[in-house]
């Protein structure tokens, strides 16, 4: 039976909480993906004009990769304070940082105006974006996970995960509309700024919704218990959530990092690298490849909650394993379909790939939340997720591009994704099923150490 602290909130309240998390993650992914698209379209000309065109593009994408490098730092800082101060406060801060940085990019003077200071400022703002995104994910999924009950936690917690395809759809849709109605000269001169400035409006809406929800009841209960135990020696561990995570949950952090490898690598190969592969190896236009990704992303958005609901019925691990194995098996057919050059085959390749990716991405929110104790959950989930992204998602398009350049074939790229899938299967198979856990009851596995500490002290006196 659920305790009062974990009893499910009224349906209207839970939907508002889900909406608050979803709109926040959508805005933050909109900002993150928008930068990547602009880096490919105009940033090489506006901020690195003295470079060779290809070098300028590489430098532009290097600033894109900087955002990934900042995500672990955001996970550490936001996780630490999110476990001490609460999920809601940090989610508001992450939204302000991301939205403020994106809005500021829309106001940046270019290289022609202020010289080398322009790319420097662009890089700094990209760092802020990555820092904010590193803290956003953990708080968003925890706010939903800790409000709902265990019976449908996988379904409800999967909704913030749909923010990734929703953000990508929104960013690509806005850019496509602007490029359709503006000339190349107008878009390069001032039109590119509009999507970035639009982020300011989206942030206001997101803040209005996020400020209207309550703090997680599970966190409030854990905080009250911690306050009551301030005189206890065990309170020392709770003052430093990061230290507590590495001491009590190091195995869970490693499982989370391993689980992220296939999910993160496959996503960026399927959605980002495909734009390179389809245009260079299959002779498909960029617009055709982009349209395939857009259609598949819409299906991806719908599939994520369905996979989340399935994880409530059969468990997080089985669904996650289906996704990892499925992505690994799909890689060779994926590239074979793209090689045909047909639009229908391209849509099929990307759609199936993203649906299988959704089987990993959907239960991930509940799965990671259920691994960690409440007072170190924000830190644990964020560290496991964001540290893996540096080794997985950040270099994935670059590694895939380098493999294509060196071997002129998709086979090494498929094997690269398959290797990541094997690693994920091993990590998830080593984890325990978490579906029936009450988040209020999840405690550090080293609680016994705390009770043993007084006895150990007595022996040393």
pLDDT in tens, 13-22: 777 788 888 8
pLDDT bracket for residue 335 (50, 70, 90): very high
Percent of the chain with pLDDT over 90: 29
Cβ neighbours of residue 449 under 8 Å, at least 6 residues apart?
none
Which pLDDT score, from 0 to 100, does residue 212 have? 75
3-state helix vs strand vs coil in the chain, percent to 5: 80, 0, 20
Q: Is the model's pLDDT at 454 over the cut of 80?
A: no
The number of residues making up the chain comes to: 461
pLDDT bracket for residue 47 (50, 70, 90): confident
Q: Is the model's pLDDT at 278 over the cut of 80?
A: yes
Q: Is the model's pLDDT at 222 over the cut of 60?
A: yes
99 near 226, Cβ under 8 Å? no
Query: Strand (E) positions, 338-460?
Result: none
CA dist list (Å): 173 to 33, 160, 346 = 11, 20, 19
Which pLDDT score, from 0 to 100, does residue 127 have? 87
Q: Is the model's pLDDT at 385 over the cut of 50?
A: yes
Taking phi first (over 0 means left), then psi (-120 to 50 degrees means alpha), and beta for anything else, what does residue 367 get? alpha
pLDDT bracket for residue 452 (50, 70, 90): very low
CA atoms within 13 A of residue 83's CA, in its CB half-sphere: 29
371 near 243, Cβ under 8 Å? no
Which pLDDT score, from 0 to 100, does residue 453 have? 40
Which pLDDT score, from 0 to 100, does residue 459 have? 37
* Dihedral angle computed from the Cα positions of residues 120, 123, 124 and 127, in that order, rounded to the nearest 10 degrees: -160
Q: How many CB atoms lie within 10 A of CB 447?
A: 12
Q: Indicate the SS3 state at residue 214.
A: coil
| b/e 192-224 (16+ beta carbons within 10 angstroms → b) | bbebbebbeebbeebbebbeebebbbbbebbbe
Angle between helices 250-268 and 411-430 (to 10 degrees): 150
Taking phi first (over 0 means left), then psi (-120 to 50 degrees means alpha), and beta for anything else, what does residue 341 get? left
Listed in sequence order, the DSSP H helices in 39-145 are: 44-46, 53-85, 87-107, 111-114, 117-145
pLDDT bracket for residue 418 (50, 70, 90): very high
Residue with tokens 């869970």: 252
Which pLDDT score, from 0 to 100, does residue 441 have? 63
Which pLDDT score, from 0 to 100, does residue 307 have? 97
The alpha carbon dihedral of 296, 302, 304, 307 has a sign of negative
Lowest mean pLDDT among 30-44, 123-137, 145-159, 211-225: 211-225
Which pLDDT score, from 0 to 100, does residue 61 have? 61
Which pLDDT score, from 0 to 100, does residue 448 have? 38
Lowest mean pLDDT among 209-218, 252-261, 399-408: 209-218
pLDDT bracket for residue 136 (50, 70, 90): confident
Report which of 24, 149, 30, 131 is spatially closest to residue 88, judged by C-alpha positions.
24
Select, from the ranges 29-38, 85-94, 103-112, 165-174, the one with the highest average predicted confidence (pLDDT): 103-112
Q: What's the mean pLDDT in 143-157?
A: 82
Average pLDDT, the chain: 81
Report which of 393, 407, 429, 373 is spatially closest to residue 259, judged by C-alpha positions.
429
Which pLDDT score, from 0 to 100, does residue 1 have? 37
The residue that leads in pLDDT, 325 or 222, is 325
Which pLDDT score, from 0 to 100, does residue 320 have? 98
Q: What's the mean pLDDT in 227-233?
A: 57
């Amino acid at each position: 039976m659920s305790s009062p602290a974990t009893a499910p909130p009224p349906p209207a309240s839970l939907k508002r909480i889900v909406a608050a998390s979803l709109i926040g993650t959508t805005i933050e992914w909109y900002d993150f993906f928008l930068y990547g698209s602009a880096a490919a379209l105009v940033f090489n000309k506006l901020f690195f004009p003295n470079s060779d065109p290809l070098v300028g593009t590489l430098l532009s994408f290097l600033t894109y990769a900087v955002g990934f490098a900042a995500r672990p730092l955001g996970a550490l800082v936001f996780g630490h304070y999110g476990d001490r101060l609460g999920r809601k406060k940090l989610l508001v801060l992450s939204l302000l940082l991301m939205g403020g940085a994106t809005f500021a990019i829309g106001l940046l003077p270019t290289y022609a105006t202020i010289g080398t200071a322009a790319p420097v400022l662009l890089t700094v703002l990209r760092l802020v974006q990555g820092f904010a995104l590193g803290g956003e994910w953990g708080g968003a999924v925890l706010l939903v996970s800790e409000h709902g009950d265990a019976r449908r936690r996988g379904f409800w917690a999967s909704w913030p995960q749909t923010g990734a395809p929703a953000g990508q759809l929104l960013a690509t849709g806005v850019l496509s509309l602007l490029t359709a109605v503006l000339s190349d000269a107008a878009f390069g001169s001032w039109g590119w700024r509009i999507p970035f400035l639009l982020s300011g409006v989206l942030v206001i809406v997101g803040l209005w919704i996020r400020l209207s929800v309550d703090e997680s009841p599970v966190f409030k209960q854990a905080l009250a218990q911690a306050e009551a135990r301030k005189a206890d020696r065990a309170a020392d561990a709770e003052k430093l959530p990061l230290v507590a995570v590495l001491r009590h949950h190091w195995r869970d952090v490693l499982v989370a990092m391993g689980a992220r490898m296939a999910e993160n690598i496959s996503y960026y190969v399927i959605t980002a690298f495909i734009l390179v592969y389809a245009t260079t190896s299959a002779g498909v236009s960029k617009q055709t490849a982009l349209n395939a990704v857009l259609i598949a992303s819409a299906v991806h958005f719908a599939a994520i909650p369905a996979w989340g609901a399935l994880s409530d019925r059969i468990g997080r691990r089985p669904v996650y394993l289906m996704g990892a194995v499925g992505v690994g098996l799909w890689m060779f057919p994926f590239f074979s379909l793209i090689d045909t050059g047909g639009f229908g085959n391209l849509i099929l390749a990307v759609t199936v790939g993203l649906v299988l990716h959704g089987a990993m991405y959907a239960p991930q929110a509940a799965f990671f939340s259920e691994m960690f104790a409440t007072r170190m959950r924000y830190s644990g989930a964020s560290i496991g997720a964001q540290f893996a992204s540096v080794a997985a998602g950040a270099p994935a398009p670059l590694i895939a591009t380098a493999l294509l350049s060196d071997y002129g074939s998709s086979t090494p790229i498929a094997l690269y994704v398959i290797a990541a899938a094997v690693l994920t299967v091993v990590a998830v198979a080593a984890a325990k099923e978490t579906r029936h856990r009450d988040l209020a009851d999840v405690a550090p596995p080293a609680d016994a150490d705390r009770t043993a500490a007084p006895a150990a002290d007595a022996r040393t006196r």
